[in-house]
Structure 1
Amino acid sequence: MTATQPAEPIALRHHRPFVAFWLSRVLTAGGFQIMSVAIAWQMYTLTGSAMDLGLVGLVEFLPRVLFMLQIGHVADRYDRRYISALTKVLQLIAAVVLAVATAYHGVTRELIFVLAFLFGTARAFEMPAMQAMLPGIVPASVLPTAIAASASAMQAATIVAPALGGFLYAIGPVETYVLSALVYVIATVLMLRLPPQKPQYVQQGGALDSLLAGIRFIRARPDILGAISLDLFAVLLGGATALLPVFAKDILHAGPWALGLLRSAPAVGAIGMSLYLAHRPIKQRVGRIMFGAVAVFGVATIVFGLSRSFWLSLLALAVLGAADMVSMVIRGAFVQLETPDEMRGRVSAVNGLFIGASNQLGEFESGATAAWFGPVAAVVLGGVGTLIVVALWMRWFPSLTERNTLQREPVPAAA
């Protein structure tokens, strides 16, 4: 595999382990997105409460906190293929339970919360294992390109899956959950076909000391800490995903099909950006580009909150997704390129906690704020908060602001 830029996408397409990894990630993300649309609409139909939509996100986030230390430890000690496959089986079980419960009219608010916790647990263990697996599949020379292409897997699924889930739910929720279950079965088989992905585990000090190594590693690197904490607070404040059922039903006056399209819109922008970055990776002024992208994310959030046009709302969400992809690729490259393989699981677990906090905890924040101030005010205030975070982080992390490349140049021996 050559390291020249024009040949990288072609090499990745013909790299069989990467293709299997990519397809498994597409299907897993697709199954989750279909389930998310169905669960959100079902919960809002049952309770009519924006707070309950936010609580679903909070329940999904709790396992990342409860099992944070164990998550990274497991990803660095056991075969990452089996970890990922097991998490897919857990999500498959949740889909089957919802299909059966829906068929027999047994879905309740409490059942959705229990299964949301199961989903959150599975995804909490899945993320660091999947992230740590990629550097063992492709050469380091094409890792930034592979990260962008891998990220596009989730976005590709997020374009089709939510829209498909919304249309399927209009036909019948049972069919929606059955399709998700089938998708998870295929994703599990693909994951098990990958070559072994067991790291060379090194015990460092006591068990607790080893588990906390990921936290210490990130704290010692201000650029990584600044990048992932920027994403945490920006998405925590600016995320509007949890409120999409409210906007689709009560503000844009549409049905579940509209919810599916709204959830797909950020991925349309994100996958377009990821494909662009896969062919033209960011090589210079990465710090300022990342901060600019997060600022665009905040502005797009404000536009979405104020919009009363379905098409303008779709456009704002697409721009939001494209901006978020730029930040995600830069952040992912920071973590993967500067972390040794034996620690990638633990570091990815901490990174996953930040991502989970920004997404699932952000959904709770959006639901609570909407319950207090209304959905429009909640989204607009979140966008303004994102812009404030950008300004503060540029001041507090000057080395990240001025960072020029994704990977630091080697320090001369004399220095």
Structure 2
Amino acid sequence: MTPLWRNRDFTLLWSGQVLSSLGAAISSTATPLLVLATTGSPLDAGLVGAAGTLPHLIANLPAGPLVDRWNRRLILLISELVAAVAVLSVPLAIWSGLFSVAQLCVVAFVQGLCFVFFGLAQDAALPMVVPPAQLATAIAANEARSRGATLAGPPIGGFLFGLDRAAPFLVDGISYLIAAVGLLFLRRDLQKPAEGPPESLWRAAVTGLQYVWQDSLIRVSILLIAVSNLVFQALILVLVVLAGEQGGTASDIGLMLGIYSAGGLLGAFVAGRLHRMVSFRTVLVGINWVWAALLPLFLLTTAPWQIGVIGALTAFVGPLWNVVIFTYAGVAVPNELLGRVMSAAGTLTWGVMPIASLAAGLMLTWSGPTGSLWSLSAIMLTAAIAATLSPSVRRAPPLDHAKGVDPVPTEKAEVPQ
């Protein structure tokens, strides 16, 4: 078997996204800083965050069937180009004196919409680029790419924002354009031909939802992911405000988020090996308890670097969670359905994010960082208890089954978990 890093198309796709992910991490760090510097309102920052994640709620479901039906290579390319145009409008508006929070909401929405289509197309195309035996390793490599970008991006974003408020967005826009050029050189067909006449868009979306609902393990896993996404999406804004109250500058906050992300990068490297040594049940239950134990520790911090260290611990276990769950989905779900299934899953798991951003802004306005952290800790504790008590999680098969060693039958649960 050809080593993964000699797989030309995987390497090309992976390396192009390193730069694009880095640019996105730079601008996402600068976005709340720009809003807070412009209006001083956490609620405004929450609104921009909600606009950026709203596409996950309203576009994921129809996007999945389209990813299975349309040319995935073209979807990847258009997503990068449209995102580049949207993000580059921010520095132009700043330099011309026309910048507004409303414009940033529109840019965030467009960027989020592109992220939805790109992410679904990339996830569905990955099993076509790498063989099943290397899928877990490829997912771990993508995790390392993402975590590495979020490690380097925040310090760079904070530093660039300190030099010029427009600079982080200019860098992000250019990174999208460079990544788009790399996509032009992909050779492989990124999808299997559809069998039979295409379903209607609505019927195709329902097919994805039905598949998710009928597999009890996937269903419970998605619900747990949705809760953790809600918590950690809200947590980022809460921690940025908390660090500001502790006297942190833009560079301090960027460094704090970089430390936070360092844990995720280290976890991504470890996950590539560790996923073979732990059971599915251990991952689903244990990681939720780790998060439930760590979140209250943020209340004890007095400096941004301390926030970053605790955040790094929470981020360390995240890649293992992603590798285990998405390896199962990537092999167990037929590839011609994968876009629809991933979009149905994404509607739930990412659809909570605009709610989380708005909730974070409201919680910070009403009860400040301390009250917000108590609320998020309580939600995470509830999720850990639910994972422990779930019959589907207790019956979770060994992860080797998800790698094609022994196909996993679809299990229909009579009672929702």
Structure 1, residues 34-62: CA drift from partner, whole Å, max 9, x if none?
11112111111112121222212221222
Q: Report what 2:412 is aligned to.
A: none
Q: CA deviation at 1:215?
A: 0.6
Aligned partner (choices 88, 111, 122) of residue 80 of structure 2:
88
Q: Report what 2:70 is aligned to.
A: 78
Report the residue type matching 1:180 in the other structure.
D
Is 1:105 the counterpart of 2:97? The answer is yes
Q: Report what 1:270 is aligned to.
A: 264
Is 1:386 the counterpart of 2:380? The answer is yes
| 1:142-291 correspondence to structure 2 within 5 Å | 142-195=134-187, 196-202=189-195, 203=197, 206-239=200-233, 240-250=235-245, 252-291=246-285
> Residues of 2 paired with 1:338 and 1:242: CA distance?
36
> Residues of 2 paired with 1:238 and 1:379: CA distance?
11
> Residues of 2 paired with 1:122 and 1:68: CA distance?
11
Q: Bigger CA drift: 58-67 or 97-106?
A: 58-67
> Residues of 1 paired with 2:344 and 2:4: CA distance?
28
Structure 1, residues 290-312: CA drift from partner, whole Å, max 9, x if none?
22112212322221243113332
Aligned partner (choices 337, 340, 350) of residue 346 of structure 1:
340
Is 1:18 the counterpart of 2:13? The answer is no
Q: Report what 1:331 is aligned to.
A: 325
Percentage of identical aligned residues = 24
Aligned partner (choices 118, 122, 126) of residue 126 of structure 1:
118
Q: Bigger CA drift: 347-356 or 86-95?
A: 347-356
Structure 1, residues 111-154: CA drift from partner, whole Å, max 9, x if none?
11111111121112111111111111100011111111111111
Report the residue type matching 2:205 in the other structure.
L
Q: How many residues are paired up?
A: 402
With normalisation by structure 1, the TM-score equals 0.91
- Two-structure CA RMSD over aligned residues (Å): 2.0
> Residues of 1 paired with 2:407 and 2:72: CA distance?
30
Q: Secondary structure at the match of 1:357?
A: coil
Q: CA deviation at 1:339?
A: 0.8
5+ unaligned residues in a row in structure 2: which ranges? 410-417
5+ unaligned residues in a row in structure 1: which ranges? 3-10
Q: Is the 8 A contact 1:57 1:361 kept in 2?
A: no
Q: Is the 8 A contact 2:158 2:253 kept in 1?
A: yes
> Residues of 1 paired with 2:334 and 2:271: CA distance?
24
Report the residue type matching 2:193 in the other structure.
Q
When residues 127 and 236 of structure 1 are mapped into structure 2, their CA distance, relative to the original with a 3 A threshold, is same
> Residues of 1 paired with 2:387 and 2:274: CA distance?
27
With normalisation by structure 2, the TM-score equals 0.91
Q: Is the 8 A contact 1:290 1:330 kept in 2?
A: no
> Residues of 1 paired with 2:107 and 2:176: CA distance?
16
Structure 1, residues 327-350: CA drift from partner, whole Å, max 9, x if none?
222221122121111011111112
Structure 1, residues 333-386: CA drift from partner, whole Å, max 9, x if none?
122121111011111112222332344432222222222211122023202210
Q: Is the 8 A contact 2:194 2:336 kept in 1?
A: yes
Report the residue type matching 2:138 in the other structure.
A
When residues 354 and 282 of structure 1 are mapped into structure 2, their CA distance, relative to the original with a 3 A threshold, is farther
> Residues of 2 paired with 1:207 and 1:277: CA distance?
36
| 1:356-367 correspondence to structure 2 within 5 Å | 356-367=350-361
